[in-house]
Amino acid sequence: MIWLGIALGCLGCYAFKLAGLSVPHKVLENSRVRRISALMPVALLAALIAVQTFTDGQRIVFDARVVGLLVALLAVWRKWPFLVVVFLAAASTALVRLAFGA
Amino acid sequence: MTDDTTSHLHTDEDQRWPETKKGIVRDAFGVALATGAYGTSFGAISIASGLTLLQTCILSLVMFTGGSQFALVGVIAGGGNPVAGAATAAMLGSRNALYGIRMAALLKVKGWRRFATAQLVIDETTAMAVGRHSERASRLGFYATGLLLFTLWNLGTLVGGIGADFVSDPKVLGLDAAATGAFVALLAPQVRGGEAWAIALAAGAVAVASSPFVPGGVPVLIAALVALAFGFRPGTNAPKDEA
């Protein structure tokens, strides 16, 4: 049963990846499609960040992760390198959990 | 990037290319390293969820899209039906189709290469490809990140799976926030100007607000509507292509 889930999941995920890449060239030349596809990564990445930070399953929560996000935003604003941003987000979240046991 | 713009920038771009190239590869390595570290937590969580090491490694090799992998093992860990888990994973992975549309315009891959390239279309590779000044920089960003990340994500999964007992709770090390930090760093260069900020904030708000009402993975897709709404706003012209 687990193998079936793995097989179907892998198939579904790959199909989506391939589908996007296979959109005909003519459609891509449409200015509206170009504009929307340029905006899409911004919306999806922002949504991922928000969901990863403010939800737990289907609940909206505010916990140590909020601190991690704020620290990451600060680090990005200061134009610190990628790995520093990642490290600070993880470390600050871990420290808040350690301090407050959350 | 239109042909017109390319010819304008050509010499200047050529001169700076070695430096640009080095910078892109360095960033790609950074992204891959961070994701690889996160991969260890996937390996550990997957084993803790009841999957075997082989199943865990196959997920990272074949599914190769982090959010979906976590969703599948999460459903299995919660005693859910693996097929329902597969549906959740696919739903989460559907955003890669939207990234693919963007990448199709930038990468222009044909023939068998399209099938291999498709496997690499994920959050990180897309983020590293967009917002570049030339198509070859976009391609380098995409493929360098894709290949390095694929290697380290799978290595991380294996290490985490074997050492499952040591990192079984990624929260203790803040590894869940590491992923968020990575996404913030990837998103930041793309959020220039008021419209991008508005889209990012609106998308985040819509995703969080909708999450109590829909299954996991769906809020992010609902947030895609924000990009659609902005894209269809009257009076906006298509950009010259900022990639």
Confidence of residue B237 (pLDDT cuts 50, 70, 90): low
Q: Do B208 and A54 touch (CB under 8 A)?
A: yes
Question: Given CB atoms, is A5 within the 8 Å cutoff of chain B?
Answer: yes
Q: Tell which wins on pLDDT, A11 or B110.
A: A11
B193-212 per-position pLDDT tens digit: 899 999 999 999 999 999 99
Q: Please answer yes or no on whether B177 and A89 come within 8 Å at the CB atom.
A: yes
- pTM recorded for the entire structure: 0.77
Q: Give A 27-46 residues with CB within 8 A of chain B.
A: 28, 31-46
Q: pLDDT tens digit string along B32-75?
A: 998 898 888 889 888 888 899 999 999 999 999 988 898 888 77
For B106-143, how does the pLDDT look when each residue is reduced to its tens digit (9 = 90+)? 998 988 999 999 999 999 999 999 988 899 999 999 99
The CA-based dihedral angle spanning residues B106, B110, B115, B119, taken in that order and rounded to the nearest 10 degrees: -10
CB-nearest to A44 from B63, B109, B223 is: B223
**Mean pLDDT in residue range B168-177:** 72
Whether the CB-CB separation of A69 and A49 falls below 8 Å is answered with yes
The three-class DSSP label of residue B121 is: coil
> Who among B89, B104, B228 is closest to A36 (CB)?
B228
Number of helices (H), then strands (E), in chain B: 11, 0
B174: chain A residues, CB-CB within 8 Å: 64, 68, 89-95, 97
Integer Cα distance of B52 and B47 in angstroms: 6
